[in-house]
Amino acid sequence: MLLWPLPATDTITTMRIPVCTAPAIGAYLVATIAFGAVSLDGTQVTPDVVRFDRTTPVTITARTSGSKPTQVQFAAADGTTLTMRDDGQDGDAAANDGIYTVQISANLAVGGLQDADVFRKHLGFVDVYEGATRTFHGFDAVAGVDPAIGEVAIADDGVQVQHSNHVVNIVDPATFANGPTADFRPLIQRFYQLFPDSVDFIDIVFATRNAANRYHFSVRNAVSGIGSSNFNNTAIYGSGGRLLGISVFPTSTYFDAGQEAHSHEIGHQWINFLPQASLSIGTPHWPLSSLASGLMGFSIPGSGAGGDYSCRLTSIPTGVQLTAFSGARSFSDLDLYLMGPEVRGAGPITTCGRTSRRR
């Protein structure tokens, strides 16, 4: 279930860097660079949702404040580098207002979609330069929609609320003005007034692009033996006892319920609360291990962000070796065992040369 509020402002200052490739330890980092005199307050793709049959250009803007950057570029995913301009030309709305603009072709925005893109394609990176130094490197994405899917029926629920089968739009400026860590209880309570205790998880997706990463928090836990206590805070959210947890997506760039990242966020409902030193050093993800090549990855030292460990550990007669891996991730049996959902007595699990037993 998705809440899609409609606040007025947005920013994003994040980046993804493929740090290394297998067989070395791999990471796909989401982080922020903020050490220049220029502040990049946010980016925007217009329109945010692009029909596959669109022929007119798509506009990308980057909103800056502070000092004037030397140059702002858009490093498109196809390898081309485009100048973003703030001179009132080529689609830039106003000269010298700190908002830099570039227009890209509709084909670049939604053409050549790969399976891994699902419906949200990585367009490229916004790069801010101060002198010769790149002080910001942040990616942007656009959601594409296939017209063959057809129109979705939308029900009007009254005062600034509407919904389709899987999405609820709620206009709630008071809540969303407080940003990604706002107190979402009033919003969720409003949702439950309309849809009493109808879901296990709620995604809160900002229509705007804040400079913050997605995150998950639990509302209720009834699973024992995973290092987390049992608790039930459903009442304060207006749930009659069913709601398990909430995932927050401060920027729509990071939301696609078909992506692995969405399953990763739900995984935070159950990992990693284990007190064993060998596992707790990886909190909130996994330590570097055979577990880390699954959906939860490993915690990047320092930031704790989820890193993509593009290796598998394979047993060989003389020990263990790293094997490159770039396929789709999933929760392993051992993930599920340590998270709680795996069933008791289903047989042994072998990982990294060790054998454990399912409960």
User: Footprint of Zn ion on this chain (CB under 5 A)?
Assistant: 306
Q: Which residue is closest to Zn ion by CB?
A: 306
Which amino acid would we find at residue 242? R
Shortest gap between Cβ of 264 and Zn ion (angstroms)?
5
Question: By C-beta, is 294 or 306 nearer to Zn ion?
Answer: 306
Q: What is the rounded end-to-end Cα distance, in angstroms, of the chain?
A: 31
Shortest gap between Cβ of 122 and Zn ion (angstroms)?
19
Question: By C-beta, is 245 or 306 nearer to Zn ion?
Answer: 306
Question: By C-beta, is 126 or 338 nearer to Zn ion?
Answer: 338
Shortest gap between Cβ of 18 and Zn ion (angstroms)?
18
Shortest gap between Cβ of 132 and Zn ion (angstroms)?
34
Question: By C-beta, is 213 or 239 nearer to Zn ion?
Answer: 213
Shortest gap between Cβ of 271 and Zn ion (angstroms)?
9
Dihedral sign, Cα of residue 333, residue 334, residue 337, residue 339: negative
Shortest gap between Cβ of 82 and Zn ion (angstroms)?
32
Alpha-carbon dihedral angle through residues 15, 266, 255, 66, given to the nearest 10 degrees:
-40
Burial class of residue 95, CB neighbours in 10 A (0-12, 13-18, 19+): exposed
Shortest gap between Cβ of 286 and Zn ion (angstroms)?
10
Is there a contact between 164 and 155 (Cβ–Cβ < 8 Å)? yes
Tokens 């798509």, residue located: 58
- Give the C-alpha distances (Å, rounded to integers) separating 154 from 143, 149, 167, 297, 350: 19, 15, 9, 37, 48
Tokens 């998950």, residue located: 216
Question: By C-beta, is 220 or 264 nearer to Zn ion?
Answer: 264
Tokens found for residue 50: 């692009």
Shortest gap between Cβ of 268 and Zn ion (angstroms)?
6
Burial class of residue 186, CB neighbours in 10 A (0-12, 13-18, 19+): middle
Which amino acid would we find at residue 223? V
Q: What is the rounded distance in angstroms from the CA atom of residue 93 to the CA atom of residue 72?
A: 16
Is there a contact between 209 and 10 (Cβ–Cβ < 8 Å)? yes
Question: By C-beta, is 36 or 297 nearer to Zn ion?
Answer: 297
Question: By C-beta, is 221 or 299 nearer to Zn ion?
Answer: 299
Q: What is the rounded distance in angstroms from the CA atom of residue 359 to the CA atom of residue 357?
A: 6
Question: By C-beta, is 5 or 306 nearer to Zn ion?
Answer: 306
